[in-house]
Amino acid sequence: MSGISLIQAVVLGVVEGVTEFLPVSSTGHLKIAEGLMGIRVSDAAVVGFTAVIQVGAIAAALVYFSGDIVRIVSAWLRGLIRPEERRGHDYAFAWWVVFATIPIVVVGLAAKPLIQGPLASLWVVAASLLAGSAVMWAADRMGRHKRGEDDTTFTDAMLVGTSQILALLFPGFSRSGATMSTALLLDLDRVAATRLSFLLGIPALTGAGLYELKDAAGAGTGLAPLVAGTAVSFIVAYASIAWLLRYVARHSFTAFVVYRIAAGVLLLALLGAGAITA
């Protein structure tokens, strides 16, 4: 591989920023964009690069939710010192985030050869876009949307956190799509489902970006493209988060389902016609 150019990095940063937290699959869209630009999606440096620019999007989430994060972490630290502080929801939630992150870390490390090999195919992305659309459509209609963020439980956190594995193994399924759909099936309302998806995703995505940094830095991707892609993804992701939370407060996920189906069908058509390689 000859490396990712600065222009390609900016394009990928925009794609990452727009799609990381929308339930449309950032990994799937990144792989499609890479395929259209002639970048080999299974290359170790490319996989590393895409993981690193996710850190920009995660940094945007950290800034946007900084008040919530400080509150939760402070409650956790106080609870470690003073037993009487352990009765609060924030203290418990901090532990739930830790426990809910463990499954995706274990699977991510164990299945890394598959994730970076056969499962990186654009055929998998197309199929996962369509399958994830069906799950999201069903969840949005089956869920009763009657529970708020304060009503979440340990079981909710574990099920939502574990559902991230679907997106890890099947790029195109969407991490946020999987977590939001699971939360909806647990009868959380759309805003609570979206916020829970954000808060549970921050540790796993940050860890993935830091873990892959060595591959991105040492296999042909220069510093300038990494910095540019990460900075662009931060700016675009911050705007995307703000927009999404306003949107789900008033709308269903139908528009995302329709878009995912259209993207999946188009990708299948492009692959079938040989316009892009898998």
Mind listing the pLDDT tens digit for each residue in 218-233? 555 678 888 999 999 9
How does DSSP classify residue 43?
-
1 is a domain residue = no
> Is residue 1 pLDDT above 50, yes or no?
no
Q: Is residue 255 part of a domain?
A: yes
Query: Is there a contact between 42 and 80 (Cβ–Cβ < 8 Å)?
Result: no
- The pLDDT value recorded for residue 30 is 87
- pLDDT of 265: 95
Confidence of residue 67 (pLDDT cuts 50, 70, 90): very high
Predicted pLDDT at 52: 81
Residue at 261 is within a domain: yes
Instruction: Determine contact, residues 52/234, Cβ cutoff 8 Å.
Output: no
Residue 188's beta-bridge partner residues? Answer: 147
Q: Is residue 278 included in any domain, yes or no?
A: no
Please report the pLDDT score of residue 65 as a whole number.
94
Q: Average model confidence (pLDDT) for the chain?
A: 90
Rounded Cα–Cα distance for residues 106 and 116 (Å) = 16
φ, ψ for residue 238, nearest 5 deg: -60, -45
The pLDDT of residue 47: 74
Give the domain range for residue 135. 6-273
The H or E element spanning position 14 is helix 6-19
Let me know if residue 96 belongs to a domain.
yes
Note the pLDDT of residue 213: 67
What is the distance of C-alpha 79 from the center of its chain? 30
| Structure confidence by residue, pLDDT tens digits, 141-182 | 999 999 998 899 999 999 999 999 999 999 889 999 999 999
Q: Is the pLDDT of residue 139 over 60?
A: yes
Number of structural domains found in the chain: 1
DSSP secondary structure string for all residues of 184-227: HHTTB-HHHHHHHHHHHHHHHHHHHHHHHHHHHHHTT--HHHHH
pLDDT confidence of residue 81: 94
Of the pLDDT bands very low, low, confident and very high (cuts 50, 70, 90), residue 17 is very high
Tokens of 268: 């299948």
Q: Is residue 70 part of a domain?
A: yes
- 229 occurs within a structural domain: yes
Domain presence at residue 236: yes
pLDDT above 90 for 120: no
